[in-house]
Structure 1
C-alpha cells in the first residue's frame, strides 16, 4: 500500500502566511489471496483507494474522506460482486467556552479482510471504519452496549455541543460549570434487491440514504462541576437504543432500550493524593436487565494507583420480570498500577464476564474469565 499527504501551507509559498491550512491526502492498498473456491471465480487482487481533505483554521476544522473498494466476494457479504464505498464528513467549531461538532458517514460493502473467509468481523481487518458515536469511558455503557460500525451497510449521524458557564455567573458559580450534550444514531442503508441478478451484485443502494431499521441511538448529557478546592462532581445520563441482533450477531434478540445514570466524584487529600468514585446504574427490560457498578480509585501521585470495582447484574428479564427469582451475579475486580514516564504497569485480579469489548471502535470477543491479568503499556 501507499499513503501520501500534502499541506498547502508548506507546499505553496502564497499559502505560507495564511491563517488557515488545507491538507490533501490519498492512499491505495491492495491485497492478494489465491482463488481456491470450486464454485466462484474470485478476484485474487483486490484494491481500495481513498482521498481526503482537511481544512483547519483558528476556530474551524472540516474533514472529509471518500473510499472506494473493488468487488471483494467474501463470507461477510454473501460472496457478491458489488463494489464498496464509504464517505465521511466531520466539522467542528470551537471558541472560548463553546464547542460544536457535527458529523455523518455512510459505508456500503466495505468489509476488507486479508482472508475472505475470516471467521469473525473482528479478525484480519485491513481498513478501519471508525464509529460515529461517542466513545464512553464509564464501565456500563462502554462494556455492555458499545457500538461497532457495520461495514456491509450503515448511515450514521452525530452532533455534540459543549458549553462552559463562566465563573461567577448564576449557573457557573465560583469555578464554572461544564455541560456537554451529545446525540448519535446509526441506521441501515436504504437498499433493494437486484432482480435477475446475473452479475451477482446482490443489491442496489441509495447512497447516503438511511433505511427504516435503527441500529443504534445514544442521547447523553454530562454536567461537570468543581465545588471547592478539594471536591468535584460529575453527573451523566444516557438513553440508549441498541440492536443487539445486528451489532453483536444475536439473531432473534429484541432491541435493548436502556437508561443509564452515572455519578462521579473526586476528593483531593493533597495535591498528590486523591480518591475518585463512580456510582452507575443501568435500567433495561431487555437482554441482561438491570446493572449497577461501584468503583473507587485511590491515586498516590506521581506513580501509584489502586482501584476496586464491582459490576452487579441484579435483575434479569427472563426471571424477575416473569415472577421468578433473578440471577444475581457479581463481577468484582481489583487493580494496582504503577506509572513511570511513558510506561504504565497494571495488575488486576477478578471476575470478567463474556462479551464484546470495543476500544476506539476496534472490537473483540472476550470469554468469561476469573483470574489475574497483567498489562504493560508504553508510549514512545
Structure 2
C-alpha cells in the first residue's frame, strides 16, 4: 500500500475500528444475551454432558432421516435461546446460520418456520465463528438490535455426506475425529440487559491457509496452520500475548491438531502453554468413548461455547478468552479429485461483563 492510499484509508471512519492487518475492534461491545445447546446421546455421556441444555436419547430425535434430525437440532436450539432471552422470533432482525450439509439443508429446513431474514453461511467447522463475526458487525454497526447465530452438525449426516454409509463399518485411523451431534444458538444484542452471558469486543477473521495436506482423516493437522495464522495475527493486531488471556480456545483440532498448532506457534516464538484448550478434546473422553483424536463438526465449538465457555465467563471464573473455531474446507468432490484440504479459522475476543 503506498502512502497516498494509506492516508486515504486512515481518513475514513472505518479506520478507527480496523485493527492491524485483518482485525476489528468493535465500536461498541456486542452482548451475548443468551445461548442454548442441544446434543446427541454420545455428547451427553462426555465430560460436559450435564452442562448441555438438552440431549436426545435417540440421535434421530424422533425424525425419519439423519438430515431431518440435524434440522431439529437447530430448530430446538434457537427456540431455547429465544426462550432464555425472553424474546420472540419477530424480535430477531437477522439470522446467521449454516451447517456442513450440501446447500446447507439442515439450516434451511430447520429454520424456515421462524420466517426471519437469513444469511446462510458456510465456514465448515468454523461456521460458529463466522456467524458470530458477521452478526457482531451487524449488531455493533446498529443494523440490528438483535441477531441470532445458529449452527449444527450430526455424526450420521456428516458421515453420509463426506465419507461412507454407517452400515459400511469402515475402520477409522487414530488421527480421525468424531463429528459432534449438536447445535449451538446465540442471541446477540446491541445493549446490555444485566443478565448477559458475555460480550464480544474484537474480531480477527481468518484467511484460507493450505499446507498441501490431503488426509481427510486427519483434519486436525489440516486446520492447525490456519488456527496458528489467525492466532498469531490476532496477537500482532491487538498488541497482546497469550498472557493477556485466560484461555485460547480452538474449535476442533483434536489431539493431533493441537500438537501441530503448538509446534507451529513455537516456531514464531509464541508459547500457549497451559492456556490452550480445544473444544474437540473437551467434549469427549476420547479413550472411554472411542472417539480417537476428539470431536469435530460445526456443532462441536458451538455447543461447547454455549454450555461451558460462556459459563466460565458469566461466572467470572475467566475474564477474557480468545475463541478460535476452525474449519477444513473440503468437499467430497474436491477430495475425490485429489485436492488438498485447506483450513480457515476465525477468532473472537470474548470478555466477562
Query: What band does the TM-score fall into relative to the shorter chain?
Result: under 0.3
TM-score w.r.t. length of structure 1 = 0.23
Looking at secondary structure, tell me which structure has more strand per residue: 1
Q: Which has the higher contact order (CA 8 A, sep 6+)?
A: 2
TM-score (norm 2): 0.24
Bigger Rg, which one: 1
